[in-house]
Amino acid sequence: MSDSHGRADRVHDACALFDELGVEHLIHCGDVGGTDVLDELVGRACNFVWGNMDFPDHAIRAYLHSVGLPWPERSPVSLVLDGKRLLIFHGHEPGVMERAPTLDADYAFHGHTHQCRDERFGRLRVINPGALARAARHTVATLNLSTDVLTFHEIPSTG
């Protein structure tokens, strides 16, 4: 998921969908928008990055520590799941979109544009799940790392 911009209600609905689908690890590609959104991620295996509309400070760091969520030190965040190397960035970082085709990873996830994206550059698959706010359609995506099947899901607007 990405670009929730504080819409904890939509993140809640997305997490309910992920639970129904048996999603094991959540990724948020930035523009989180506050601790209400982060509250929805507590207790879940997840990673996230800060976006250009996030302003993390010492209080946010203390909050993350208190609830057991990881503090993203830098972007991109790199992790390995099911033997696949994943990179997570927001998309506003200088030069990162231009470098995307050359990244040494299996998957690169980003947000920022509020547009769904699924593009391949050799072995690298670049995915943008869309946005949960400030978009005509509010979308998230699920990816099965074993089968490489990507599905975009619309999250109904609740207000």
**Domain residue limits at 27:** 8-154
CATH of the domain at 114: 3.60.21.10
pLDDT number for residue 104: 87
Residues in the chain: 159
The least confident of 17-21, 96-100, 115-119, 130-134 is 96-100
The helix (run of H) or strand (run of E) holding residue 144 is strand 139-144
Q: Is residue 159 in some structural domain?
A: no
Tokens 């470098």 locate to 99
Q: Is residue 58 in some structural domain?
A: yes
Determine the Cα–Cα distance for residues 137 and 144; give it in Å rounded to an integer. 23
Residue 10: exposure state from Cβ atoms within 10 A (0-12, 13-18, ≥19): buried
Strands (E), 35-89: 46-48, 77-81, 84-88
Q: How confident is the model at residue 136 (pLDDT cuts 50, 70, 90)?
A: very high
The structural domain count of the chain equals 1
End-to-end CA distance of the chain: 19
Q: Is residue 3 in some structural domain?
A: no
| pTM of the predicted model as reported, rounded to 2 decimal places | 0.94
Q: Is residue 1 in some structural domain?
A: no
pLDDT number for residue 126: 95
How does strand 149-154 pair with strand 124-129?
A: unpaired
pLDDT number for residue 159: 58
Determine the Cα–Cα distance for residues 48 and 51; give it in Å rounded to an integer. 9
